[in-house]
Amino acid sequence: MNKALVALSKERKQYLKNKRHRQIMILLTQIGILVVFLAIWEILANKEIIDSFITSQPSRIFNTFMNLGSNDLVKHILVTTYETVVGFLVGTSLGILIAIILWWSDFLSKVAEPYLVVLNSLPKVALRSYNYNMGRGRNTSNYCYGSSNFINSNNFRKPKWVFKNGQRGCKNGKNI
């Protein structure tokens, strides 16, 4: 290498030293502000000036964070990540395959066009395949109270508009 490129002038060294010092001071100030904020929050929660039920407090949040490893959280995170990746790959593969088929066949693309336009305009939540265990209301059965893939009537208490002859009863997940 050229010695002229490697050697730095005194002014350049001082500039780099001042720049590094400024970066360290900025980081220390940011950390200090965070520590002061957390300390004030903890003190106000301990003195019951703020309601710790609503705003919690840093010590409780820290204890909860430290206990996240219990109750198989890591296993659940891995399962969720696996299902997300597999779902993404399957959906992307099917989408590419369908796109190739529609691109290849002019006839199929013309036949499918109105259906694809309608499906694209629907909210994606309405396209889910089942209503089981969604936590929406007292009855999450797919067969009761007229719920289906496109009408989620579990949000309503007694949707009389679903059936012609008024509300039907439900017993063990079956309409009666």
The better pLDDT of the pair 112, 7 is held by 112
Mean pLDDT of the region 59-72 = 85
Note whether 176 and 169 are within 8 A (CB).
Answer: yes
Distance, in Å, from the CA atom of 63 to the CA atom of 138, rounded to the nearest integer, reads 34
**Over the range 53-63, which residues count as b (16 or more CB within 10 Å of their CB) and which as e?**
eeeebeeeeee
SS3 143: coil
Could you tell me which residues come within 8 angstroms of residue 57 by beta carbon, excluding any fewer than 6 positions away? 41, 42, 45, 46
SS3 2: coil
Length of the chain equals 176
DSSP state of 171: E
Mean pLDDT of the region 64-93 = 90
SS3 116: helix
Query: Whole-structure pTM over 0.75, yes or no?
Result: no
Answer yes or no: is pLDDT of 164 > 80: no
Query: Which residues of the chain form beta strands (DSSP E)?
Result: 170-171, 174-175
Band (pLDDT 50/70/90 cuts) for residue 92 is very high
Q: Work out the burial of residue 72: count CB atoms within 10 Å of its CB; fewer than 13 is exposed, 13-18 middle, 19 or more buried.
A: exposed
